[in-house]
Structure 1
Amino acid sequence: MNARKAFVGVDGGGTKTRAVVVAETGELIADIVTEGSNVNHFGWERAQAVLGELFAQIRAACPSGSWMSSLFFGLAGVDRPEERTKMREWILEQWPGAFVGVENDTLPALVGGSGETEGIVLIGGTGSIAFGINDRGEKCRVGGWGYLIGDEGSGYNIGKDAYSAVLKSFDGRGPQTLLTGKILAYYGLQDPTALIPLVYSNGFTREQVAAVTRFVFEAAREGDEVSLTLLSRAADELGELVRTMLTRMSFVKQRVPVVLTGGLFHEGSPLIGMVQGRLSGRADVVRSEQPPVVGAVLLAHKQTGTAPGEHWEQTLSGIK
């Protein structure tokens, strides 16, 4: 009996790592989620340990006789060529004989959102970054320099500014805002000054700071001027990432696909329209309806030089 070919797409970030395994016939073999694998956040040893456990789960999920033909990894934190080479060589040791591709996590987001490998992807989550690739395969990134020196317009920055707005209002340096009641109620606090020991405590993460953006969206829908200002400022920064990309890169297409992905661009997010309004007529802005892991598994198939079968579209459309 001939072994069935299988294709793996992996999307690895700071919060979670997700792998999808699809058979050559289009059958979904596995959809696995585990811990984050961002090398910059956790270091190589931790990231490889997470991926090693993921590989064990993939092998356990694959039916007897399945052969891993191709794997594509979109991993946050492997931005430089030497980092991608190091990761790829290690993965090849785990999967000898397979095609292996490694890029940062932006390329799968572009492919998953637009179905194309030419365009721009704007990621707005805990962090922020824009990534572009043109028809000649030239690549460019703008932003994504981390929460201490970059990530403008990100969930972390919005969350940090939300805390600041509450404390400025408490001081009398800023206007009253609905964020005060919402954030204090969320943490079960009576006084804004109690935020200080909370946010400066050991173990208080960037993701926890970014989590309060939900209240900024909520208060903005209720007409809170402070929250509307925070979102407008974020839209300015996010739009600037894309405008800079359009200036720096040469695209053949008159209208360049710009895929919005990440938690800030959830369904119904006002940031979608706000960012779109800040971009030129060259930008064809779409919100990604599929997760980046779908783009990763499509890239896994593409790097073998073959096209997916007719049943793949139905399978991938069901992955959310």
Structure 2
Amino acid sequence: MSPAVLGLHIGGSKTRAVRAGLDTSGNHDGEDGGAVEITEARANLSSVGHQGADAVLRRIAAAVGPGISAVCMGAAGADTPASRAVLTALLTEHFPGAVIDVVHDTRIVLAAADLDAGAVVVAGTGSVAWGRSRDGREARAGGYGYLLGDEGGGYSVVRDSVREALREYYAGLEPGPLVKAIMAATASADALQLMDFFYARPEPDHWAGLAPLVLDLAADGDPAAVRIQAEAAHSLATLARQVLGELGLDLPLVMAGALLVNQPQLAGAVARKVALDDPSGIRILDEAPVHGAVKLARRLIQS
């Protein structure tokens, strides 16, 4: 098998891996004659721990095979030197001899968009914004995890829906369309049982999976869902504006993550809040972030 690089994206709910050629010819697939793409379970250290992450990476290493020259991992939650050191050690074990780099997943979004300077706002299970200026300065906002932040992400959207269910219940109101939909999706008899379920299984990715249901209802005009979507858009726009305010309002902004990529109404609301007068500098990422990790992996051996 020809020498190759490996890009990894460890998100809040799944892991994606792409083995691709060294790209000396400029083709996307490089010398392999076609990239190898794998989707695996989540490998986020804060969610599955050292052993869980190790198991996922072991399966990926077996699937992609030998000959990996460089690995770039973009990982949600790779915020501290300690977490990056753990992931680097695991990658070194599974890909011996490869050049390794572990970065926060916002960096691979910028690379996937073919930008060296710009800002990104990501809304998936959680939320974060990050950017790099043309002179190399960096800024970040959010991305603190579901206990401390992640406003506007999928978990936050569904948590607000559970709060709406409790508000209606204690106000003596009949459940509205949003609450009925959430209760049906969770097989909850009422808002109190929904709350019990929420505390019994607090994993963010479990609840974030219901966010599209909420946003689809917002697109249909349900008042409660519209309010929750508006709050999410405000939170995401605030993150983006903070980064752009520090680095330069003229920088391009890339929106990524499942909620912004797959929910055009939410993405449009965020864009309008960030740049009402001229949203032309804002775009939605049209390539999976993992391909940004592939591009950064190639730079490790081309530099």
Structure 2 residue 272 is the aligned partner of structure 1 residue 274: no
Mark the CA change 1:188 to 1:52 in structure 2 (over 3 Å): closer, same or farther: closer
Paired amino acid for 2:285:
S
Paired amino acid for 1:50:
V
State how 1:242-253 maps to structure 2 within 5 Å.
Answer: 242-249=240-247, 251=248
Mark the CA change 1:91 to 1:228 in structure 2 (over 3 Å): closer, same or farther: same
Contact 2:142/2:239, CA 8 A, preserved across alignment: yes
Deviation at 1:82, TM superposition (A): 4.5
- What are the Cα deviations for residues 64-108 of structure 1, in whole angstroms up to 9, with x where unaligned? xxx322211112222123433453355334434322221111111
Deviation at 1:134, TM superposition (A): 2.3
Following the alignment from structure 2 to structure 1, what is the Cα–Cα distance between the partners of residues 90 and 61?
12
1:318 is aligned to: none
State how 1:159-238 maps to structure 2 within 5 Å.
Answer: 159-172=158-171, 177-201=176-200, 203-238=201-236
Contact 1:71/1:98, CA 8 A, preserved across alignment: yes
1:311 is aligned to: none
Paired amino acid for 1:271:
L
Contact 2:272/2:279, CA 8 A, preserved across alignment: no
Deviation at 1:22, TM superposition (A): 1.1
Given candidates 258, 277, 282, the residue that maps to 1:263 is: 258
Deviation at 1:241, TM superposition (A): 0.4
Mark the CA change 1:211 to 1:267 in structure 2 (over 3 Å): closer, same or farther: closer
Paired amino acid for 1:269:
P
For structure 1, the 5+ residue unaligned runs are 307-320
Structure 2 residue 49 is the aligned partner of structure 1 residue 56: no
Following the alignment from structure 1 to structure 2, what is the Cα–Cα distance between the partners of residues 173 and 277?
36
More helix by share: 2
2:289 is aligned to: 292
State how 1:60-209 maps to structure 2 within 5 Å.
Answer: 67-112=67-112, 114-172=113-171, 177-201=176-200, 203-209=201-207
2:26 is aligned to: none
Q: CA RMSD in A?
A: 2.4
Deviation at 1:285, TM superposition (A): 1.2
Paired amino acid for 1:127:
G
Segments ≥4 residues shifted beyond 4 Å: 173-176
- SS at structure 1 position matched to 2:245: helix
- What are the Cα deviations for residues 260-281 of structure 1, in whole angstroms up to 9, with x where unaligned? 1112113343111100011135
1:304 is aligned to: 301
Please give the TM-score of this superposition, normalised by the length of structure 1: 0.83
- SS at structure 1 position matched to 2:158: helix
Mark the CA change 1:195 to 1:83 in structure 2 (over 3 Å): closer, same or farther: closer
Mark the CA change 1:159 to 1:4 in structure 2 (over 3 Å): closer, same or farther: same
Equivalent residue pairs, number:
293
- What are the Cα deviations for residues 274-320 of structure 1, in whole angstroms up to 9, with x where unaligned? 000111358821111111111111111122227xxxxxxxxxxxxxx
Mark the CA change 1:94 to 1:207 in structure 2 (over 3 Å): closer, same or farther: closer
1:39 is aligned to: 45
Mark the CA change 1:46 to 1:14 in structure 2 (over 3 Å): closer, same or farther: same
- SS at structure 1 position matched to 2:121: strand
Following the alignment from structure 2 to structure 1, what is the Cα–Cα distance between the partners of residues 94 and 190?
53
- SS at structure 1 position matched to 2:149: coil
